[in-house]
Amino acid sequence: MDRLLLLMPRFMDYEKSLKEYLNRKYEICWLDSDEFDQEILDKFSKCNKIRWGVRHLFRKCFNHDLEKAEGFFLENELNKIILEKNYFSVVFCINGSYLSDEFYKKVRMLNPNARYIYYAWDDVSNLIKKNHIRYFDEIYSYNIIECKKNKWNYLPVFVQESGVGHSKEDKYDIVFIGSLNDDRRKIADDLYEKYSSSYRLFIYLYDKENIGGRFCHNSPLTNKQYISIMRESKAILDVPQICQKGPTTRAFDALLTETKVITVNKYMKYYPVYSDNMIIVDRDNINIPDNFMAKEYVINSYHSLSIDMWIKKIGL
């Protein structure tokens, strides 16, 4: 059996789904590429104001200091993978911006004949670095704009469920589910104040730092819980991070559950997933038209990618 090195972060059990499927064909060695992200950021941020200013003036200085911060964890990361010559036939990385260049150089040196495949499921422009992508020969991204700019292969994210469908009766009109970051707390409060008397709302914000708040919880929903709630809702409010241009997984999960999407992402209109079941609203003043909520969901020809279809697109 061929061996595959999987470099990807933990996210809503996507890493478990991917490992489970790839295990059918490959012996998998998985490394959480974001395991030391906070420690790296803490080390990287420890500099004086002059050095911080120089970093923003000169990208080389920024990359040098980041590489130094990431390098503290190099030995720890290398100890978690097999370092034999030509051990891996495939090196598959998702995001991977918190692994040092020295890590990638070492892996390439030991596995010169392997396939090197990269997938970005976040905007590359928002990653802490992007120079690590040069170590890969086959590059895919979920961001159609960055694909056109860099001549990469466009590939939407996969969904973890299949054959879900919508519930016979709706329990909610609008659901808002996500991690607590950026301005989501304010949006949740505004949504409740503006629409709680008109619509049945379900608001759930995962508060990792346990800051607390009206709709905050210290544990995330499982993917099955999240999908189950979407099945019982007419629409889901989609609020990506402020700088995010690519679509969140909600847009594709909504195809599975036949749920309408209210999104603040103005770039959604450039994606094949965009349809009459979706509406773009102003992030700073969310106004949900009554006629959008009243109309029925319309089945269209565009479908989410199941994990097996997604893997086939990459050729694994």
- The number of C-alpha atoms within 13 Å of 28 and in the hemisphere containing its C-beta is 20
User: Is 316 part of any domain?
Assistant: no
Is residue 17 domain-shared with residue 118, that is, in the same domain? yes
Burial of 134 (0-12, 13-18, 19+ CB in 10 A): exposed
- The tens digit of pLDDT for each residue in 133-153 reads 999 999 999 999 999 999 999
Q: What percent of the chain has pLDDT over 90?
A: 61
Domain residues for the domain of 145 are 2-155
Is residue 11 domain-shared with residue 102, that is, in the same domain? yes
Provide the pLDDT for residue 217.
86
User: Is 313 part of any domain?
Assistant: no
Is residue 282 domain-shared with residue 206, that is, in the same domain? yes
Is residue 11 domain-shared with residue 144, that is, in the same domain? yes
pLDDT over 70 (residue 43): no
Provide the pLDDT for residue 245.
93
Q: What percent of the chain has pLDDT over 70?
A: 87
Among 46-55, 136-145, 208-217, 272-281, which is the least confidently predicted range?
Answer: 46-55
Contact 166, 231 (CB under 8 A): yes
**What does the DSSP assignment read for 158-211?**
EES--S----SS-SEEEEEEEES-TTHHHHHHHHHHHHTTTS-EEEEEE-TT--
Helix (H, G, I), strand (E, B) or coil at 275: coil
**What does the DSSP assignment read for 105-149?**
HHHHHH-TTSEEEEEESS-GGGSS--GGGGG-SEEEES-HHHHHH
Residues 6 or more apart whose Cβ sits within 8 Å of residue 47? 55, 65
pLDDT over 90 (residue 265): yes
Is residue 184 domain-shared with residue 63, that is, in the same domain? no
Helix (H, G, I), strand (E, B) or coil at 248: coil
Provide the pLDDT for residue 183.
86
Element (H, E) at 280: strand 278-280
- The tens digit of pLDDT for each residue in 283-314 reads 999 999 999 999 999 998 888 999 999 999 99
Residues 6 or more apart whose Cβ sits within 8 Å of residue 71? 100, 102
Is residue 179 domain-shared with residue 212, that is, in the same domain? yes
Is residue 147 domain-shared with residue 29, that is, in the same domain? yes
Asked which of 155, 187, 207 is the last residue of a domain, the reply is 155
pLDDT over 60 (residue 50): no
Amino acid at site 284: D
Provide the pLDDT for residue 301.
84
Is residue 276 domain-shared with residue 200, that is, in the same domain? yes
Q: What spatial distance separates the first Cα and last Cα of the chain, rounded to whole Å?
A: 13
Asked which of 155, 184, 206 is the last residue of a domain, the reply is 155
User: For tokens 């565009």, what's the residue?
Assistant: 302
Contact 55, 44 (CB under 8 A): no
Distance CA 195, CA 192 (A): 5
Contact 86, 111 (CB under 8 A): yes
Helix (H, G, I), strand (E, B) or coil at 253: helix
Task: Report the number of distinct structural domains present in the chain.
Answer: 2
Contact 260, 234 (CB under 8 A): yes
Among 39-43, 163-167, 195-199, which is the least confidently predicted range?
Answer: 39-43
- The tens digit of pLDDT for each residue in 77-88 reads 888 888 999 999
- The tens digit of pLDDT for each residue in 97-121 reads 888 888 999 899 999 999 999 999 9
Domain of 253: which CATH number?
3.40.50
Element (H, E) at 50: helix 49-57
Distance CA 282, CA 296 (A): 23
Among 41-45, 131-135, 243-247, which is the least confidently predicted range?
Answer: 41-45
Across residues 248-276, what is the average pLDDT?
95
Provide the pLDDT for residue 1.
86
Provide the pLDDT for residue 47.
65
Is residue 218 domain-shared with residue 282, that is, in the same domain? yes
Is residue 13 domain-shared with residue 149, that is, in the same domain? yes
Provide the pLDDT for residue 152.
98
Is residue 281 domain-shared with residue 151, that is, in the same domain? no
Distance CA 7, CA 18 (A): 11
Is residue 29 domain-shared with residue 83, that is, in the same domain? yes
User: Is 166 part of any domain?
Assistant: no
Provide the pLDDT for residue 26.
96
Across residues 161-178, what is the average pLDDT?
90
Helices (H) and strands (E) in the chain, counts: 12, 14
